Structure 1
Amino acid sequence: MTFVAPPGYQPVYNPSIPYLGPIYGGLREGSSIYIQGSVPEDITRFYVNLLCGQSDNSDVALHFNPRFDGRDKVVFNTRQNDNWESEDKIRSMPFRKGERFEMVILITSQGYQIRVNGNDFHMFPHRIPVERVGGLEIAGDVAIQTINIIGGGMGGGYPGMGGGYPGGNMGPVPYQGMIAGGLSPKRTIIIRGMLPYGASRMAINFIVSRTGDIAFHLNPRLNEGLRDSTLMDKALYLTMCFLFYQMSIRCGNQRFKVFVNGQHLFDFFHRMQSFNEIDQLEIKGDVQISYIHF
């Protein structure tokens, strides 16, 4: 069984550059744009634009432009009525030539908070109402693996989610879904999603629906640091306190293996003898889900 979010919540994979695409439902406070990519060794510059429309001549609410020109910097700006406004130049470079990156644009009431590789980089204040944003443009010396827009203006729930909904009204998930046939050795559960800015905790439960018993409980508590690390080691905390893009939980004969963004983080040994009775997945807390595959 696979849950795939409706248009506007589905990630874009390996788009050709230059890329120009819509942001369904627009943006608002609490929305997030997650971009995973890499820059070549011979990079000179690339840019990410949030457009007030869906054409490359639209007004630009946010222009994010890293420049490798001997005096490396990142330029922020806006464009209205075909006129560029005053630049914000940040003489610091969060990207490294020839390396991969993860970038998040968090929409706050004050402006666009930019994070690169888990670190806050710059807050660019709103000059144009964020409600006008309707498109995303990426061009220049960059390769993009994933674009994921979470928490846009589209509201409501969606069939097949067991009462949950990704983004939409930005509430808690919760998600409950049956795992047809139960768990078995080598079966993998894939969850894609994001922890929004300010998230404090989430929970993933594998349940035996017949009894209600929880066979596996994963509960990162992001506002408690490492004080409760029963199921969460330091690597998991450091990964998930920023965001997660993809989590894979693989069932084996003796244990669950947990991976986040391709990195093996920990194993959890079965405490129930009949793990094949596990037939329900539950996700709760401050998390937004775009894809689930059983």
Structure 2
Amino acid sequence: MAYVPAPGYQPAFNPPVPYCTMIAGGLRVGMVVTVQATLPSKYNRFAINFACGQEDTSDIALHMNARYDGRDRVVFNTKQCENWGTEEMKKEMPFKSGKVFFIMFEVTKNNYQVSANGAPFFEYGHQIPVDRVTYFQVTGDITIQELAIVGNGPGVKGGLVMSGAQSDLLPMMGPAYVNAPVPFSANIRGGMIPKRIVVVKGVVKPKAKGFIINLKSSFNNEIALHLNPRLNKNTVVRNSFTNGTWGEEETEQVKNPFKEGEYFNISILSTEQNFKVFVNGCHSFNYAHRLWNLPQVDKLEVEGDATIVYVFI
């Protein structure tokens, strides 16, 4: 079963490099862009661009260039009218060979706030208006595991651009909850009605025993979906809590995708009959509804041995 993201969320799993995608509706303040990647066996440099078009001559609002030449550093710059500006430089390299690294760009009113592996790394002030940025590009010596553009939802200038499959899903309104503390709780506006998706991007802590994601009713605290990866038992438990009792656990799964110290991306789609759960872009399992009043399922909880990168609803 192919994963289809809802409008407002643009993920890509294991895409080829060079990679170029249009930012549906254009870039705006409040959006988040993430890249999870590794270095190939041979590497010299890679680049990430927030561009004003897909042509080689297009202006580039933010060019981030990791260079490995014995003086390892990360360079930031802007290109306007085919001329590069003055380089800004960070003389440290958090993107190491043999390790998965994670880059996050948060678009603020004044700058791009760049994080590396969960820690603040650099701030780059806007030199080109954000609303001119329409493409996101990755080039060079890098292997992308996952890339996501988060928060380009309704209300953006020019409206949404979506595929036919996306048009059958409810838009994700946002904003994203970034680096939120665990335990975490957030309201789901309108509840988990059919066609709604929630996304949890995180990291399993080292030596983790397990963590929990609940979709529940704030009205009566019943739990429609209790998702519990148990690392110490190498299983993923699903259950519901209704009428004051837990139901029968479900554990059947082809593969446990959760590993200590590794990133995960969980996407939960509500349908008329069940919750369809995708992990890292792959369909993992379905969970038939046991609590049928889906508009009342209006709360998302995350707790346990996991760190949140972002939650998007």
Give the TM bin, normalised by the shorter chain. Answer: 0.5 to 0.7
- 2:290 maps to 278
- Separation of aligned partners in 2, 1:47 and 1:149: 17
Aligned match for 1:251, one of 232, 238, 260: 238
- Separation of aligned partners in 2, 1:250 and 1:2: 23
Residues 68, 168 of structure 1: CA spacing in aligned structure 2 closer, same or farther, 3 A cutoff?
same
Residues 166, 276 of structure 1: CA spacing in aligned structure 2 closer, same or farther, 3 A cutoff?
closer
- Distance apart, 1:28 and its partner CA: 1.1
CA contact (8 A) 2:7 2:167 kept: no
CA contact (8 A) 1:20 1:137 kept: yes
Residues 277, 89 of structure 1: CA spacing in aligned structure 2 closer, same or farther, 3 A cutoff?
closer
- Separation of aligned partners in 1, 2:92 and 2:55: 30
- Distance apart, 1:26 and its partner CA: 0.8
- Percent of aligned pairs with the same residue? 34
- Separation of aligned partners in 2, 1:149 and 1:124: 18
CA contact (8 A) 1:114 1:121 kept: yes
Amino acid at match of 1:205: L
- Distance apart, 1:44 and its partner CA: 1.2
Matches within 5 A, 1:1-294: 4-6=4-6, 9-152=9-152, 154-155=154-155, 165-167=171-173, 173-174=188-189, 175-177=191-193, 192-193=199-200, 204-206=214-216, 214-215=222-223, 250-251=237-238, 253-254=248-249, 262-263=258-259, 278-279=290-291, 282=297, 284=299, 287-289=311-313
CA contact (8 A) 1:205 1:216 kept: yes
- Separation of aligned partners in 1, 2:23 and 2:5: 14
- Distance apart, 1:6 and its partner CA: 4.2
| Root-mean-square deviation (Å) | 4.3
Q: Deviations over 1:233-273 (max 9, x none)?
A: xx9xxxxxxxxxxxx9641645889xx982479xxxxxxxx
Q: Deviations over 1:114-162 (max 9, x none)?
A: 112111111111111111000011111101122211112643898766x
- Distance apart, 1:193 and its partner CA: 4.2
User: What TM-score do you get using the length of structure 1 for normalisation?
Assistant: 0.64
SS of structure 2 residue aligned to 1:10: strand
Q: Deviations over 1:20-41 (max 9, x none)?
A: 2111111111100111111124
- Separation of aligned partners in 2, 1:2 and 1:40: 27
User: What TM-score do you get using the length of structure 2 for normalisation?
Assistant: 0.61
Q: Deviations over 1:74-114 (max 9, x none)?
A: 00000000000000011011111122112111101121111
Give ranges in structure 2 of 5+ residues lacking alignment: 161-165, 178-186, 203-212, 240-247, 262-286, 301-309
Give ranges in structure 1 of 5+ residues lacking alignment: 180-189, 196-202, 219-230, 236-247, 266-274, 290-294
| Number of aligned residue pairs | 234
- Separation of aligned partners in 2, 1:176 and 1:89: 45
